[in-house]
Amino acid sequence: MELKPVVELRDLSKTIGAKKIIDDLNLSLYPGQITGFLGPNGAGKTTTIRMMVGLMEPTGGDVFIEGVSLAENFEEGLSKVGVIVENPEMYKFMSGYKNLEHFARMHDGVTKERIDEVIAQVGMQNRIHEKVSTYSLGMRQRLGLAQALLHRPKFLILDEPTNGLDPAGIREFRMYLRKIAEEDGVSIFVSSHMLSEIELMCDRIAVIQNGRLIDIQDMSATQESHYYIEARPLDATETLLTAEGFTVESFKEGFIVNAEKEQIPALMQKMTTQELQLFAVQPHRKTLEDQFLEMTGGGQIAEAHTK
């Protein structure tokens, strides 16, 4: 990709006591891209995100937003960032509108019209003047998104954004993120435990474990062609498949092979001539979950450390 990155983490580190929570993290995020941020519990996702928005101070390295260092010029850097950190906690005793007004004052150039526009975008017109304490979790998430978008950020950080949204809400949310990524070139960084969600939403995933970035992948590149083949007897089937030069992996009551579409008819003919009982041949997509568990080695929780 030739684009200039919107956000760069350079050698970002955080040491608490003797423990390195985050270890030399390097990551670039590009405009128009939605990047998923995955990792087992305690891997350092939240710490990383907090360092990116100024809630925690890195002990080493720096975060650059459009080339502006947060350590040197916090206000300019952060003025381009919209944030939802975990559940968006709003002032419950104020109305949604008052909350937005309050946060708008902390940014330059957010007009009343812009506030109304954002409210319409997240579909909150009807309830915006009610107190936040009367909102459901889903409503609060919408309000959280609204406050993050007020100042037209170039970069949006979302920590567990779909938590509490209903299926329709999640779908709407996803479409909306896609839209602002594509139309406004916003770079979006989403941390989530819901792998299926990330899979549907993201162009790219970054995986962190024990404070280290262990993998960055483009989602399109991960769609290798796999087929699921179920036939009897099992051993004869396996012998044949291996002899044909496929990588074979046991799965349920059959095997997964890395075959291309064009190879399938010939393979099936061979199987029938050998009088194997063929039950099923179907394309198989490795889910993100499989990949994630592969990468993190079962996703064990990092050695306990105080949060």
Closer to other proteins by CB, 79 or 217: give it: 79
Q: Is 79 in the site for other proteins (CB under 8 A)?
A: yes
266 contact partners, CB below 8 Å, separation of at least 6: none
Closer to other proteins by CB, 16 or 267: give it: 16
Closer to other proteins by CB, 69 or 225: give it: 69
Q: Is 286 in the site for other proteins (CB under 8 A)?
A: no
Q: Is 252 in the site for other proteins (CB under 8 A)?
A: no
Stretch of 2-10, 99-107, 215-223, 264-272 lying at the interface with other proteins (CB under 8 A): 99-107
Contacting other proteins within 187-246 (CB under 8 A): none
Contacting other proteins within 47-66 (CB under 8 A): 50, 53-57
> Cβ of residue 149: shortest distance to other proteins, in angstroms?
14
Q: Is 85 in the site for other proteins (CB under 8 A)?
A: yes
Q: Is 22 in the site for other proteins (CB under 8 A)?
A: no
Q: Is 107 in the site for other proteins (CB under 8 A)?
A: yes
Closer to other proteins by CB, 73 or 247: give it: 73
Closer to other proteins by CB, 59 or 217: give it: 59
Stretch of 88-96, 119-127, 198-206, 284-292 lying at the interface with other proteins (CB under 8 A): 88-96
Q: Is 299 in the site for other proteins (CB under 8 A)?
A: no
The site for other proteins (CB under 8 A) is made up of 50, 53-57, 74-79, 81, 83, 85-92, 103, 106-107, 147, 307
